[in-house]
A = this chain, B = another copy of it.
């Protein structure tokens, strides 16, 4: 969305588990598709659960400042094995992944959902699925607000506070309307305003206000529970979904599942005002159970690299990756190694 740069300076955070494997293939495809047209500079950052075990550090301030200097960040996956008791549960997710999203003001968490031809959906009659979820990325129940009173006792009270601001909601809603206008002109707000009245009222007010700027976009509203039903009974009805951070987390995993699994789901954490680099990551996690065995599908990571290219204005190579991925998926028969899939797509985009 900015002019095509001659130099593209990317920070790469491979992370844990299958993160390094899939990221390697995304980098392979990035190199292949940009060829001599772009001067691609890649800098690896060693962060994640393994790094924490070795150093006790999640994301030092100095590293965060260094990351800010890049044009974009390609992120693999982080997180320890569920059974690993050496690492406080959720620590890496919060202090690395969420800290990056919040510090770099990634207010548009963009998650496209598309059912590629040739991909089996768990739905009997999926129809055409092609929508994007615009998930707010810096507010809601994700702010870490809340606390514990009388912790560990029979009188414990634990609170979680969802914080929502007009500023935060408006910028993401406007972004979602703009995307809807450039697509099929249909936007659905997903919330639960009959119960979460304060946040719900704010979201509804802002959607109505911004809708006036986009007369060609039709918008409707679904409670999050009703959205669940439509996602499995009529996913074709969606074009752009805009929703808060927590509902977006839930909706996008279901969306990934109905379109054939999180092995294919890409995402972008976008800072749309350019004050910090945006970050591109597969929706899937680090999957320690299959790590290091070349079993992971690198497609989500490769598609995330395409989102990266599109974000920095390199629409042609982005489209080339997406086309090649679609063709590769359509022709999949047996299982191939992580590297074999990357090789095939890299060859196709060159």
A194-B89, A198-B146 are known contacts. Are A141 and B124 too (CB-CB below 8 A)? no
Report the bound CA distance from A161 to B201 in whole Å.
Answer: 15
* A170 nearest CB across to chain B (Å): 8
Q: How large is the interface on A (under 10, 10 to 19, 20 to 34, 35 or more residues)?
A: 35 or more
A222-246 vs B: 1/0 string, CB under 8 Å? 0011101101110000000000001
Q: Are A142 and B195 in contact (CB under 8 A)?
A: yes
Note all chain B residues with C-beta closer than 8 A to A141. 141, 160, 162, 195-196
Which residues of the other chain, B, contact A256 by a CB distance below 8 angstroms?
A: 229
> Who on chain B is nearest to A224 by CB?
B250
User: Smallest Cβ distance from A197 to chain B, in angstroms?
Assistant: 6
By a CB distance below 8 angstroms, the chain B residues around A142 are 195
Contact A158 B148, beta carbon cutoff 8 Å: no
Q: Are B164 and A158 in contact (CB under 8 A)?
A: yes
- Whether B154 pairs with A201 at a CB distance below 8 angstroms is no
A279 to B170, CA, bound (A): 40
Whether A225 contacts B199 in the complex (CB less than 8 A), given A121-B124, A123-B122, comes out as: no
A252 to B144, CA, bound (A): 27
CA distance A252 to B229 in the complex (A): 10
Is A249 in the interface zone, CB < 8 Å from B? yes
**Of all chain B residues, which has the CB nearest A221?**
B82
**CA–CA, A165 and B170, complex, Å:** 34
User: Cβ of A224: which chain B residues have Cβ within 8 Å of it?
Assistant: 249-250
- Which residue from B159, B167, B229 sits with its C-beta under 8 Å from A198? B159
A161 adjacent to B158 (CB under 8 Å): no
A152 in the interface, Cβ–Cβ < 8 Å? yes
Q: Report the bound CA distance from A146 to B142 in whole Å.
A: 16
Best-surrounded residue of A147, A158, A229 (most CB of chain B within 10 A): A158
Partner of A199 from the list B154, B158, B229 (CB cut-off 8 Å) is: B158
Provide the bound-state CA to CA distance between A196 and B98, in Å. Answer: 12
Copies in the complex: 2
Q: Are A158 and B225 in contact (CB under 8 A)?
A: no
Tell me whether A51 is interfacial, beta carbon within 8 Å: no
CB–CB A196/B146 < 8 A = yes
Assembly CA distance A121 to B122 (angstroms): 11
Given A154-B167, A159-B164, also A148-B202 (CB < 8 A): yes
Tell whether, in the assembled complex, residue A160 and residue B198 are in contact, meaning their CB atoms are under 8 Å apart.
yes
- Provide the bound-state CA to CA distance between A185 and B163, in Å: 39
- A166 and B154 contacting across the interface, CB-CB below 8 Å: yes
A90-135 contacts to B (CB < 8 Å):
90, 93-94, 98, 120-125
Q: Which residues of B contact A160 (CB under 8 A)?
A: 141, 161-162, 164, 196, 198-199
A-B contact pairs, 25 of them (CB 8 A): A89-B194, A90-B193, A93-B194, A93-B195, A94-B194, A122-B123, A122-B232, A141-B195, A146-B197, A146-B199, A148-B198, A150-B166, A151-B201, A156-B166, A157-B163, A157-B164, A157-B165, A158-B201, A160-B162, A161-B161, A162-B162, A225-B249, A225-B252, A232-B257, A254-B254
Further contacts, 20 of them, CB under 8 A, given A146-B198, A148-B201? A90-B197, A94-B194, A120-B124, A122-B124, A122-B233, A146-B199, A147-B198, A154-B167, A155-B165, A157-B163, A192-B249, A195-B249, A224-B249, A224-B250, A225-B249, A229-B256, A229-B261, A231-B254, A232-B254, A254-B254
